[in-house]
Amino acid sequence: MKITVLSGGVGGARFLRGLREHVRALPGDHEITAIVNVGDDMWLTGLRIAPDLDSIMYTLAGENDEVRGWGRTGESERVSGELKAYGVGWDWFTLGDLDIGTHLARTSYLRSGIPLSEATARITARWPLGVTLLPATDDEVETQVHVDGGSMHFQEWWTRHRAALPALSFEYRNALQASPAPGVLDAISGADVILVAPSNPVVSIGPILAIPGVREALLAATAPVVGVSPIIGGAVVRGMADACLAAIGVATAADAVAVHYGPRSRGGLLDAWLVDDADAALVPSIEEAGIAAGAVPLWMRDLDTSAAIAAQALAAAARL
């Protein structure tokens, strides 16, 4: 079975880890491909940072910092201390020493003309991840946040201002000039199942859908498209999706996000949507919107619960 997953960083990484765990126990051979958001990416101190690709890589490699949710386990910050002493970079954005190794590797490939997708393939080959990571695009499509008085890179809004500055709008800069990375459209058209990870709909899934050709490929795909709500009981599971959703006029609710994505039967993204048991009352309204819905436990507390959620998503796809 070929499974393609649209994914952001931390929540997506945990979902992918659960999916890999579940699929490993299934008979037959299966392939998982993650189409990963690059809207968080940026140049910093001469290095190309790719947070969502790295969060997924580290998590699937078992090298991630489970507490912070990003970066490497066993990390140190000696180089970061030197950068601060030189007044170089962002002192609110810490690059760990081991993490810098990843950024140096990626940047050295990019500087020699190797595109991000190939650089990612070479970097991730270091570990047996069991999942193919594809950036949504090899082009630099960075998410800009417009606030009262100006705009800034998503990463500054998120890490420096903790999304506390009211966002007026989000811009996926350069998206119209971008194209899907090699393999992305094939991963969609060739999938048996397409899953939308419980990632931030605005700054993680949105930038993937904004790449020309991706939405069309998803609409034309023969595979069922099943999404997992990143909102439980009217609250975000992690991160600050509520600040993002408010900016685009979407309520922080499992049904509102499903309606925001829209039913594929009417040109939207979804065939089915999983909500947490706490939101079971929302299932009828989601079904009325043309999206099959189910209520299951959605808290990804550990590997087993993440695997169970992945199993439920695949089961929902099989029912379509």
The reply on whether position 49 binds ligand FO1 by CB under 6 A is yes
Among 15, 109, 158, 170, binds ligand FO1 (CB under 6 A): 158
# binding residues, ligand FO1 (CB under 6 A): 16
* CA atoms in the 13 A half-sphere facing the CB of 139: 16
CA distance 53 to 178: 18
The reply on whether position 142 binds ligand FO1 by CB under 6 A is no
CA distance 131 to 115: 19
Tokens representing 229 are 């709500």
What is the smallest separation between the CB atom of 144 and ligand FO1, expressed in angstroms? Answer: 14
**Under a CB-based contact definition with an 8 Å cutoff, are residues 95 and 70 in contact?**
no
**Under a CB-based contact definition with an 8 Å cutoff, are residues 131 and 33 in contact?**
yes
Task: Name the strands in the sheet holding 225-228, side by side, starting at the edge strand that comes first in the sequence.
Answer: 132-135, 31-36, 2-7, 193-196, 225-228, 272-276, 292-296
The reply on whether position 41 binds ligand FO1 by CB under 6 A is no
The reply on whether position 144 binds ligand FO1 by CB under 6 A is no
Q: Strand, coil or helix: what is 67?
A: coil
Residues 6+ apart with CB under 8 A from 131: 16, 19, 20, 32, 33, 34, 56, 60
Using the contact rule CB under 6 A, the part of the chain among 49-57, 121-129, 136-144, 188-196 near ligand FO1 is: 49-57
The reply on whether position 55 binds ligand FO1 by CB under 6 A is yes
By beta-carbon proximity to ligand FO1, the closer residue of 230 and 263 is 230
What is the smallest separation between the CB atom of 162 and ligand FO1, expressed in angstroms? Answer: 8
Q: Which single residue is written with the structure tokens 């290095």?
A: 47
The reply on whether position 51 binds ligand FO1 by CB under 6 A is yes
**Under a CB-based contact definition with an 8 Å cutoff, are residues 20 and 26 in contact?**
no
What is the smallest separation between the CB atom of 54 and ligand FO1, expressed in angstroms? Answer: 4
Using the contact rule CB under 6 A, the part of the chain among 24-32, 133-141, 155-163, 297-305 near ligand FO1 is: 155-163
By beta-carbon proximity to ligand FO1, the closer residue of 161 and 215 is 161
CA distances from 56 to 146, 173, 241, 242, 262 (A): 27, 23, 19, 22, 26
Q: CA-CA-CA-CA torsion for 73, 71, 30, 190, nearest 10 degrees?
A: -170
Of 211-270, binders to ligand FO1 (CB under 6 A) are none
By beta-carbon proximity to ligand FO1, the closer residue of 60 and 292 is 60
The reply on whether position 165 binds ligand FO1 by CB under 6 A is no
Q: What is the x/- site pattern for ligand FO1, positions 67-96, by CB under 6 A? A: ---xx---------------------xxx-
Positions touching ligand FO1 (CB under 6 A) are 9-10, 40, 49, 51, 54-55, 70-71, 93-95, 99, 155, 158-159
